[in-house]
Amino acid sequence: MSKTTQVVPGWQFAVQPFRAPHALLLLSLALMLFPSALSVVGWLGALGWFGWRWRERGFPVSHTAINVPLTVLLFCFAFALLLKPIHPSALASVSHLLAGVTLFFAIQEYGTSLGALWKITGALVLLALLFALGIPFGVTWSEGKVFDIVAFYSHYAPLLPNPSNPNNAAGALTPAIPLALALIASGKRWARILGAVALAPLLLLIALLQSRGAGFALALGLAVYVTLYRRWFLPLIPLLILGGLWLNSTLPNPVSLQAPYEISSSSPLTFESRRHIWSQAIQQLEVSPWVGVGVGGFSFVREENPGSNAQAVVYNHAHNLVLQVALDTGLLGAATFVVCLGYAIAAAWRSTRASDSRRALAIGILSAFVIILSHGLFDTIYWATKPAIFLWGMAGLALALARVSHDLNNS
């Protein structure tokens, strides 16, 4: 294959054209995102994609601001696997993390123009729609909700093996909402159509899943989205919160403010319960602060009524994003994870100063980060899981957008 050099505007170095097949990347991501007996094929495919880039460019990954902390995070993750007992769910966690990191670097590689970044954003929204199509067949619907569809659902749609819970499913959809809004505001006809078409099913599924955690995170994300467009909206947010509290108090069955997140109607997880779980997680982390307890190794059993016949409730994650990363990879891994997120958020924030469609995309990315982080205060679904693909997707978009903005400003 002949190699011709070209100079990227705004950057003082020559690069080689990269022609790794898109099909290899997409197949690898699919096999890693949905782990099975073929997951190893997905790992090898991802290694092949990075190897192809190495052959074409002389280095396996793009140079970004978070390459060093991300590398440290991956090493901490690997050391935890080597030094601690391997939990049965660890292999799925490896696949999900590799899928996210591969997507991050793929966005850096292909998102070299503003038009390409809008196409990648559309692809992420389409991925959320695919998740939404699978939710009716892969979720254990909760009983005792406002929309009680368990009886109807059990007669018409069999569950897939190992179904997810509504909180995880809704969390996978919520970051796509501000991205869909950004598509509508992009000024591109195809993007407007895709964003408008995607909003209805995504919002419908989130409403039917009735996850309080996802609803809380989505409300914060949308508030930030509107505020970044219209600063005058900021003083109205406290008034909206007070109005919501008043409305909740007037309802016949008010929602308990101590339980914005719950596993099911039979085992509510209140804020006090979460504090107890966090305390247990910190105690386990103190025993092994540098490598954690092992990937997926945290387990806390809580007996609701000791001495009774009630079955104990087992919690296998820390219900806090950063704390869970620390348990899986140690304190150094958690610190580098926070650094990666901080760089990505700062990059998206700088892009909000643009006057063209970059501003719309940056606001969508920032709002998605708000959703991810606010949901992560009380849950861990964005770490080494399927929904975590959106966290790495947002990080990839943020850094690629900052690079494209740099090029445009200096061209």
pLDDT of residue 3: 44
Q: What is the pTM of this model?
A: 0.85
For the chain, residues with pLDDT lower than 70 are 1-21, 141-163, 232-237, 239-272, 301-314
Decide the pairing of beta strands 313-315 and 14-15: unpaired
All residues at 6 or more sequence positions from 178 whose CB lies less than 8 Å from its CB, including other chains: 221, 222, 225, 363, 364, 365, 367, 368, 371
CA angle 216, 219, 222 (to 5 degrees): 150
User: Is-contact 122 186, C-beta < 8 A?
Assistant: no
pLDDT of residue 287: 87
pLDDT of residue 12: 38
Q: Which of 399, 267, 279 is nearest to 340 (CA)?
A: 399
pLDDT of residue 18: 45
All residues at 6 or more sequence positions from 316 whose CB lies less than 8 Å from its CB, including other chains: 89, 296, 298, 299, 300
Longest Cα–Cα distance in the chain: 75
Q: Which of 312, 311, 320, 313 is nearest to 281 (CA)?
A: 320
Task: In whole angstroms, give the CA distance from residue 313 to residue 292.
Answer: 23
Residue type, 12: Q
pLDDT of residue 145: 54
pLDDT in tens, 225-259: 988 887 766 666 676 666 655 655 565 544 444 44
Task: In whole angstroms, give the CA distance from residue 9 to residue 409.
Answer: 10
Residue with tokens 């998102």: 111
User: Is-contact 140 165, C-beta < 8 A?
Assistant: yes
3 state SS of 88? coil
CA dihedral 126, 209, 87, 28 (to 10 degrees): -10
pLDDT of residue 11: 38
Residue with tokens 């914060």: 220
